[in-house]
Chains A and B, each alone.
Chain A
Amino acid sequence: QKEVEQDPGPLSVPEGAIVSLNCTYSNSAFQYFMWYRQYSRKGPELLMYTYSSGNKEDGRFTAQVDKSSKYISLFIRDSQPSDSATYLCAMSTNSGYALNFGKGTSLLVTP
């Protein structure tokens, strides 16, 4: 079993919908939680990161971390066709350099 689990989708939503993307993990030592966005045939790019538990908001994006449940979420409000991409969660420990990635969830926002 991988340390980070993520539903691969695909997830298809109409433009304007609220999108919820999730990951679960098993390693309680993870402290840094990140979401990367990967457009087709491109490299992943960092979208948001959160330290420990709590929420972080950036425009239409909100990241949530629930360490007690080992569960993280990314919410996208007012989704746009340009949000269509694969979203990967990633995590690391306090001192580690390695990022542990989920397999990614493919999102399609239809006009």
Chain B
Amino acid sequence: DAGVIQSPRHEVTEMGQEVTLRCKPISGHNSLFWYRQTMMRGLELLIYFNNNVPIDDSGMPEDRFSAKMPNASFSTLKIQPSEPRDSAVYFCASSLALGRGRETQYFGPGTRLLVL
């Protein structure tokens, strides 16, 4: 199994530009999570999809952030316009959700975003 795939692995952009991060979950998993990790705040959940439907986006910091999951094998996280404070490592994780709160989440390698 290839695991969770994320692209790009690194992204450097200028303030105001649009950034799109991509994720391919593990085949057969029905839940997908986007996280952001910083030294100051640690790992924060941004949004959670179940069966391609956004269930909880309360962690999305601002309207500049949006996420989509058009099918079971692909999701995007978009930041428009980007700001320096968005610099972080963004992780995508997937799991086979059975509604019991203990499903293992498998993380991708992350995308390191630097906004200048």
A32 with B48, Cβ < 8 A, contacts A88-B43, A102-B42 known: no
Q: How far is the CA of A32 from the CA of B48 in the complex (A)?
A: 19
A43 with B102, Cβ < 8 A, contacts A97-B31, A97-B97, A101-B43 known: no
Give the A-B pair count, Cβ closer than 8 A.
59
Residues of A within 8 A of B34 (CB): none
Q: How far is the CA of A92 from the CA of B50 in the complex (A)?
A: 17
One of B48, B91, B109, B110 near A97 (C-beta < 8 A): B48
Q: How far is the CA of A49 from the CA of B101 in the complex (A)?
A: 12
- The A interface, classified by DSSP as helix, strand, loop or mixed, is loop
Residues of A within 8 A of B45 (CB): 98-99
> B4–A43 contact, CB under 8 A?
yes
> B107–A43 contact, CB under 8 A?
yes
Other CB < 8 Å A-B pairs besides A41-B110, A101-B43, A103-B41, 5 of them?
A32-B101, A43-B108, A51-B102, A97-B97, A101-B42
